[in-house]
Amino acid sequence: MYLQLIEKTLRNGLQALILVPEISLTPQTLGRFERRFAVPIVTLHSGLTEHQRSTNWVACYNGSAAIIIGTRSSVFAPMLRPGLIIVDEEHDISYKQQDGFRYSARDIAVIRGRWENIPVVLGSATPSLESLHNVRLGKYQLSSLPERATGAEREQYQLIDTRYSNSRTFLDKPMTDAIGKALQSGNQVLIMINRRGYAPVLYCNECQWIAPCEHCDARLTVHQKQAVLRCHHCGFQTDLPKTCANCRQHSLTPVGEGTQRIEESLNNLFTGYPVLRVDSDSTKSKHAMQNLFEQINLGKPAILVGTQLLAKGHHFAHVTMVVVLELDSGLMSSDYRSLEKIGQLIIQAGGRSGRESKKGKVFLPTAFPEHRELNLLTQKDYLEFANTLLIQRQQYGLPPFYFHGIVRAESRSKNKALQYLDSLRKATANAGSTEILGPVLPAMEKRVGYYRAQLLIVSIGRAELHRAMLQIIETAKRIKTSTVRWSLDVDPYDLY
Ligand SMILES: [Zn+2]
Ligand SMILES: [Zn+2]
């Protein structure tokens, strides 16, 4: 459908802008479009050199680029003859910039479309609740593709009850049998876990000490190959200690599973089959990602282990079995968006499988096999699941029915951050239907050496929220401080 719309745009002599969520998807998208369209195509993303980027930017500006493919910030690319904007995988949270200038590229695309008077297409197999809500309000028009693009059957989802399993890992007998069978039939298996590194924590068996980050309220992750502990929030790194920092005993063990540890277990269990790990550690170098995907696309039996990087738009024609791990932390999370994200992740991961003639099967180990929404998702479909979540959001007064804004303050001193927000709140009159909640400390109080506190602003309407935020900006300008940094975030993705 995208291709037909782009064709029409090009026939009218106009430019098409296509946003993709992930930089690793740009070569793939570029290749697909180059094969189809004989027009100048440019890409815009952070992986380009300064020179490439400015050349491509000029090509957008002077109209010589007919198709522009880019990540988040390319929504601002100047176009001489704009004709169409496509936001692919519109549900993806990487469209939201969460620091510095905070914006949602998807929402800006919609506004830009209105200003330029051109069509905007938000594409996804798992649309965000915001977009589905906008369809119901009549702001967006829904076009459904009845079948998967390749005509393959919908994959099957199976919840695996982990409550009575004796095995300490997900690799119990039924699971290893299923993986072995898939490999022997010449197929590939995809195992997804949203945690890179070897193990999430280093734990002392004697005194229960867990290696912490010195700069954040976070635990360090074990990276076995490099023999280091690393903080995934601030990048702090230290050598893997031999003894416990608290009781000085030789009693440290890595606990839990990350991509590296799963890779190791699978290598031991399935000798003779390659285990390919795809996460931000294994794909750091420029061509690593491409090399991995080339190897996967050869189609030889193999096990793919990775983070949700693997679920983003890549096509794996030879994968017939998918396992999604660590669902339960998402099912039980205090973040109200987490269930939506888990649902999207499951369907996106499942969608990687069974392309072409091979039907896929998705295994979901969980200690909550009766979970109502999870069953809706796996037995019915994503839309039923999403509609149920929308009803809940409305009942609890959450977005997209209500509007959120966050004022964050960061300081070396916890009290200064809290006091600053307190004075902001007191000086800002509670306006009618808008509520200001806080200040509170998020679950992770300290990050990269700074304490973080926040105010949550809840409004019944967009205009009311903007009014309250403007009032806060005015107040913040008056209250001078050199020890507190503050920032605003409208429609925040992360409340914690
Ligand atoms: Zn840290
Ligand atoms: Zn100890």
- Ligand 1 centroid – CA 486 distance (Å): 20
* pLDDT confidence of residue 150: 52
* pLDDT confidence of residue 80: 98
- Ligand 2 centroid – CA 313 distance (Å): 44
Q: CA torsion sign, 49 to 55 to 56 to 57? A: positive
Minimum-distance ligand to the CA of 246?
A: 2
- Ligand 1 centroid – CA 448 distance (Å): 5
* pLDDT confidence of residue 184: 96
- Ligand 2 centroid – CA 264 distance (Å): 26
- Ligand 1 centroid – CA 434 distance (Å): 35
What's this model's pTM, rounded to 2 decimal places?
0.90
- Ligand 2 centroid – CA 243 distance (Å): 8
* pLDDT confidence of residue 281: 78
- Ligand 1 centroid – CA 131 distance (Å): 35
Query: Would you say the CATH fold of 403-490 matches that of 2-124?
Result: no
Q: Domain locations in the chain? A: 2-124, 156-196+258-394, 403-490
Q: Going by DSSP bridges, is the β-strand pair 67-70/188-192 parallel, antiparallel, or unpaired?
A: unpaired
Minimum-distance ligand to the CA of 231?
A: 1
Minimum-distance ligand to the CA of 251?
A: 2
- Ligand 1 centroid – CA 457 distance (Å): 28
- Ligand 1 centroid – CA 224 distance (Å): 18
Minimum-distance ligand to the CA of 206?
A: 2
Q: Domain 2-124, what fold?
A: Rossmann fold (3.40.50)
Each residue's pLDDT, cut to its tens digit, for the chain (496 residues) gives 788 999 999 999 999 999 999 887 788 788 889 999 999 999 999 889 999 999 999 999 999 999 999 999 999 999 999 999 999 999 999 999 988 899 999 999 999 999 999 999 999 999 999 999 999 999 999 998 766 555 556 789 999 998 877 666 778 888 999 999 999 999 999 999 877 777 788 999 899 999 999 888 888 999 988 899 999 888 899 999 999 999 999 999 998 888 888 999 999 999 999 999 888 777 777 678 778 888 888 999 999 998 888 877 777 889 999 999 988 888 888 789 999 999 999 999 988 887 666 778 999 999 999 999 999 999 999 999 999 999 999 999 999 999 999 999 999 999 999 999 999 998 887 667 789 998 998 878 898 999 999 999 999 999 999 999 999 999 998 888 889 999 999 999 877 6
Residue type, 391: I
* pLDDT confidence of residue 443: 79
Indicate the CATH number for domain 403-490. 3.30.70.600
Q: Domain 156-196+258-394, what fold?
A: Rossmann fold (3.40.50)
Residue pair 56/42 in contact by the 8 Å Cβ criterion: yes
* pLDDT confidence of residue 304: 94
* pLDDT confidence of residue 152: 57
- Ligand 1 centroid – CA 278 distance (Å): 23
* pLDDT confidence of residue 165: 74
